[in-house]
Amino acid sequence: MTTILPHFASAGHAADKNCKVALLGFGTVGRSVARLLYARSNEHPLELTHVCNREVARKKVDWISPQVMWTEDIDELLASDADVVVELLGGLQPAHDWVRRALQSRKSVVTANKQLMAHYGSELLELAQAEQQFLGFGACVAGGVPVLSGLHDGLAGDRLIQVRGILNGTCNFILTMIEQAGSPFAEALAEAQEAGLAEADPTEDIDGLDAGAKLAILARVGLHIELRPQQVVCHSVRNVTAVDFEYAHELGCTIRQISTAKLVHGRIYAFVGPAIVPRDSPLAGISGSQNLVVSTGEFGGDTVFSGHGAGGNPTAVAVVSDLLQAVQHRLNGIQRSHRPAACSCEVTADFELQQYARFVVRDRPGILAALAGVFSRHHINVDAVLQRPGYMKSKLPFVITLEPCTESRLQAALAEIGGFDFLVETPLRMPILK
């Protein structure tokens, strides 16, 4: 019948702050991390001691302890007695240099920088191990959803063969808008920008580069494969229209931006882009800025992780969870790598999937025969033809679904089809993930 004692109280940390934390970057996530550290200050041994940002005078806030040292000078931070640097700069440079230098200064690092970890993860993990420092990056994928620790520790006993997920909240929001309100893509994007869910330049999100970086990190942690972000095949969601949702619904499905990395016969394929997913799949149930990852193991089958993929607080939870791991690392002096090394593996872009192809044509006799002829010559079997009534003959959208075929065959067929003069738009193709 005593009161609730906090998480770390039993270890006697409340009075004895023994891990000094420096924030490198004080934007939305940085402020949330600081607030979370203060809100739980009697429950953990973490003490915020430094904040490094440009224009400190403008950034300073009065709720931060006066003992905290503010600086604009990375050298001052690296020379300080901080134990852990939390890198929240984003982008490759100067983040890459500064994280290297922090590790070389015998500081542990916690980062939320997905591009940094996707491009330089292996190098930085090796450096961290050489310097006997902890490098945490749980916040890089799916914000507050503890998927990286789940794959790395909780499912270590399995042999994972696939990771798949909804990793970009901006795309998910835009596609939900198109589905629910029938908005054209440009309008849905503008709404996402107004709601603060898309950048002024949304390319990274909608063309798949953001999700691709996260997928590369998931592949390293879950599949133990070194996948370069450039090796991920990315298709944009720009060309998805309300008509595609109508046809997807007819198939008992919906459309989501899906990221998949899959091991098949010792090779890996990885792609990001809009895809047709069954409406009763957990992928279809994810709305707004939520994220979801499904891992598939040879022994344990499918495991699903989902939750808030973005936002200051969820990301701060991931950062502070990593900071607590860094504390354990320091207390126990763990010298072995806590993350197994990822290995290289042949990456193929020629994977075989069922496909959805949507055409918009000036209607006239013979179109279906022409298209079917091309697919047949490329040894692709047509599964079904869907044509809903009520569209204009001059701009008629219809769909052909294809039985599983390789990417190379599909591309060859679509290249040939591109020459037909009845096309009003470039065909949109999406894999059907059943």
- Closest separation in Å from C-beta 104 to its own copies: 22
- Distance, in Å, from the CA atom of 175 to the CA atom of 258, rounded to the nearest integer, reads 12
Q: Which of 20, 214, 262, 434 is catalytic?
A: 214
Segment (H or E) for 344: none
Quick one: 31 or 235, whose CB is closer to its own copies?
31
- Measured CA to CA, the distance from residue 404 to residue 424 in angstroms comes to 26
Give me the least distance between CB of 42 and its own copies, in Å please. 11
CA 39 to chain centre: 28
Alpha carbons 378 and 408: distance in angstroms, whole number: 10
How many Cα atoms within 13 Å fall on the side-chain side of residue 346?
Answer: 7
Return the number of the residue (328 or 381) whose C-beta is nearest its own copies.
Answer: 328
103-124 residues labelled b (16+ CB within 10 A) or e (exposed): beeebbbbbbbbbbbbbbbbeb
C-beta of residue 238 within 8 angstroms of C-beta of residue 192:
no
- Residues 6 or more apart from 421 whose CB is under 8 A from it? none
Least distance from its own copies to the Cβ atom of residue 133, Å: 15
- Tell me, yes or no, if 60 is annotated catalytic: no
Q: 115 near 140, Cβ under 8 Å?
A: no
Residue 324: closest CA among 106, 13, 89: 13
Comparing CB distances to its own copies, the nearer of 96 and 224 is 224
Minimum distance of its own copies from residue 297's CB (angstroms): 6
User: Mind giving me the DSSP string for 72-122?
Assistant: S-HHHHHHS--SEEEE---SSTTHHHHHHHHHHTT-EEEE--HHHHHHHHH
Distance of closest approach, residue 291 Cβ to its own copies, in angstroms: 10
Helix or strand run (H / E) with residue 249:
helix 242-250
Least gap, CB of 62 to its own copies (angstroms): 21
Nearer to its own copies, 303 or 387 (CB): 303
Alpha-carbon gap, residue 309 to 341, rounded angstroms: 26
Rounded CA separation 210/17 (Å): 36
Cβ(226)–Cβ(342) below 8 Å: yes
The whole-angstrom separation of Cα 323 and Cα 84 is 8
Cβ pair 58, 341 in contact under 8 A: no
Least distance (Å) between residue 348 CB and its own copies = 11
Residue (144 or 202) nearer to its own copies, CB = 144
Q: Is 163 helix (H, G, I), strand (E, B) or coil?
A: strand
Q: How far is CA 118 from CA 61, 114, 131, 303, in A?
A: 33, 6, 21, 23
In the complex with its own copies, which residue's Cβ is closer, 9 or 412?
Answer: 9
Residue 161: CB minimum distance to its own copies, A: 11
**From the CB of 10, what's the least distance to its own copies, in Å?**
4
Nearest residue to 339 via CA among 320, 322, 317: 322
Active-site residue set: 214
